[in-house]
Amino acid sequence: MLQQTQVATVLRYFPNWMRRFPSVRALADAPEADVLHAWQGLGYYSRARRLHAGARFLLERHAGELPRTHAALLELPGIGAYSAGAIASIAFGEKKPLVDGNVVRVLARHFGLRGDPGKGPLRRALWQLAGELVPEDRPGDFNQALMELGATVCTPRAAACGACPLRATCVARRDGLVEKLPELPARPKPTRVRAVAVAVRDGKRVVLVRLPASAPRWAGLWTFPHVELEPNETRAAAAERAVHGALGVKAHIGVELARIEHTITRFRIALELVEATLPGNVLRGALRAEHVVRALPSELSRHAMPAPHRKLAVWLLANGGAS
């Protein structure tokens, strides 16, 4: 959970996750839909799928027990160099390094390392340096201290250099480079995307569709039928295309219900929700598909939905599901 997510956010999710999946077997045996539902709101849903796959891998290969060595940990789905180093050193006392954003910042500043830490040469140098520094004795404490130093003292902005235990030997402090290191590339501005979601009505209920595993975004999650608008495409035309693509039928498009904006990685999505209706016989046929459900606004939260569609579901509930 802590990969690409702040600790404060994880603290809100971890207790509920452990209540739902208190053991490796409980997680491995759970349907993917339940795993995604427990994860919704944390984003980067591939992490949840890898965690699920990792639990099944542990049952199949390790009798449900977590391996105790760095090499064996790397064989697990979703476990890379950072996670393996963290688990091996902190949980099992193995002399292995870890490098995250906080560690990158501390090492780059302390040793005056120039260049992009995400690129090959400096990235390899940082891992090598971290490996040389980690001690035989209490490697986990050392790694946690290094991360904590970056999180609380050697911060991205307004670093508390006067309180740093490494200030006497810090190259960046000596040379006035604290604000310039590490040399991270500028983040690109978010690409603006306009999209339309459709609340297909069946009386008081609305239709959700589950995206296939091959979907480029939100695979396996439940959403309102939706598409991104093509150049010069009208909202109504896009809504018709969304419904036809999801249900294979033609809809009667109604009025706009709500509009939200949501940022996902490098995209800023302006998402409009419009209502639509289908002839009763047509809708009943479409609902026979396994990837389609209809639910009251109060029932939508039972399904794992990505954040922007969950916001639209909340709007429907708050507004009685009516236009």
pLDDT, tens digit, 9 for 90 and up, residues 177-232: 999 999 999 888 888 989 999 999 888 889 999 998 888 888 889 999 999 999 99
pLDDT of residue 281 exceeding 70:
no
| pLDDT at residue 204, rounded to an integer | 87
pLDDT, tens digit, 9 for 90 and up, residues 240-271: 999 999 888 888 999 999 999 888 778 888 99
> Domain 191-318: what homologous superfamily?
Nucleoside Triphosphate Pyrophosphohydrolase (3.90.79.10)
d(CA 203, CA 36) in angstroms, rounded, equals: 28
| Distance set, CA 224 to CA 39, 49, 311 (Å) | 19, 22, 11
User: Is the separation of the CB atoms in 96 and 89 below 8 Å?
Assistant: yes
The domains of the chain are located at 191-318
d(CA 147, CA 136) in angstroms, rounded, equals: 18
At 100 the three-state DSSP class reads: coil
Own/partner contacts of 63-69, CB < 8 Å, gap of 24 or more, are: 64/23, 64/24, 64/25, 64/28, 65/24, 66/24, 66/91, 68/92, 68/94, 69/94
pLDDT, tens digit, 9 for 90 and up, residues 50-90: 999 999 999 999 999 999 999 999 999 889 999 999 999 99
pLDDT, tens digit, 9 for 90 and up, residues 119-138: 889 999 999 999 999 999 99
pLDDT of residue 282 exceeding 80:
no
pLDDT, tens digit, 9 for 90 and up, residues 153-171: 999 999 999 999 999 999 9
Q: How crowded is the C-beta side of 130, counted as CA atoms within 13 Å?
A: 32
**Chain-centroid distance, C-alpha 310:** 15
| pLDDT at residue 202, rounded to an integer | 83
User: Is the separation of the CB atoms in 57 and 46 below 8 Å?
Assistant: no
User: Is the separation of the CB atoms in 235 and 196 below 8 Å?
Assistant: yes
